[in-house]
Structure 1
């Protein structure tokens, strides 16, 4: 097993129609306004953006993300990532009951040397940290959509 590789999967059931949820998720530069763990997203050249992310553990993840696929009709946002993590992340947004289901999948390799050395021992903590980051995002997006009346 390569201890520095991670695969994450989160499912968010949200109020509002899929197009409204997709519209919020595709605006990554706005994430720091509503998602507590997304500390900063700075547009770079072209479609790339630099992001700083931190949940509860005392470290920040710095990545540069670039769009690989943006398909509102299919509800798919796919990003490639480099930096402290290398790999990809994908949102898939679909209707679900009276609201929306947003599925987040991510496959990454830890590239930052210190975190890479810690990965075999800290793997459960890294996974729990990611789960807390995603939970805070789901709660915040739910509140944002409800406040917007969606």
Structure 2
């Protein structure tokens, strides 16, 4: 097992039309407005941005995110990441009853030296840290969707 590789999946049922959810998730530069753990998103060009995140544990992670797939018809947004974490993440937004389901999949390798050194003893804490970040993201998105 590679202790520095992580696979995550989160499912966010949302009481909003899939198109509204997709449109909001597509504007990554707005994430810091509604997702507290996404500290900054700085656009570098039309498909790339520099992102800094921080959840409950006292460390920042910074990575470059590059859009590799934007498919509104399929509800898919996918990025490649390099930096403190390297890999990919994908949102898939589908209809779910009268609302939407936003599915988040991510596979990353951790490159940040401290986190690599703490890979084995820290793994359960890093997973909980990610879960807390995703929970807060869903709450923030719910509140944001009520205002748009």
Q: Give the structure 2 partner of residue 126 of structure 1.
A: 126
Q: Is the 8 A contact 1:15 1:146 kept in 2?
A: no
Q: Give the structure 1 partner of residue 73 of structure 2.
A: 73
Q: Give the structure 2 partner of residue 62 of structure 1.
A: 62
Alpha-carbon separation, structure 1, partners of 2:49 and 2:18? 24
Alpha-carbon separation, structure 2, partners of 1:31 and 1:135? 14
Q: CA deviation at 1:46?
A: 4.0
Q: Give the structure 2 partner of residue 115 of structure 1.
A: 115
Q: Give the structure 2 partner of residue 52 of structure 1.
A: 52
Alpha-carbon separation, structure 1, partners of 2:33 and 2:145? 13
Alpha-carbon separation, structure 1, partners of 2:53 and 2:86? 14
Secondary structure of 1:137's aligned partner: helix
Cα shift readout 1:38-68 (whole Å, capped 9, x = no counterpart): 0000011341100000110000110100011
Alpha-carbon separation, structure 2, partners of 1:140 and 1:15? 13
TM-score calculated relative to the size of structure 2: 0.98
Runs (4+) off by over 2 Å: none
Q: Is the 8 A contact 1:16 1:100 kept in 2?
A: yes
Q: CA deviation at 1:123?
A: 0.3
State how 1:1-150 maps to structure 2 within 5 Å. Answer: 1-148=1-148
Q: Is the 8 A contact 1:87 1:109 kept in 2?
A: yes
Alpha-carbon separation, structure 2, partners of 1:77 and 1:133? 19
Alpha-carbon separation, structure 2, partners of 1:114 and 1:35? 25
Q: Is the 8 A contact 1:5 1:108 kept in 2?
A: yes
Cα shift readout 1:58-98 (whole Å, capped 9, x = no counterpart): 00110100011000000000100000000000000000011
Pairs aligned (count):
148
**Structure 1 unaligned residues grouped into runs of 5+:** none
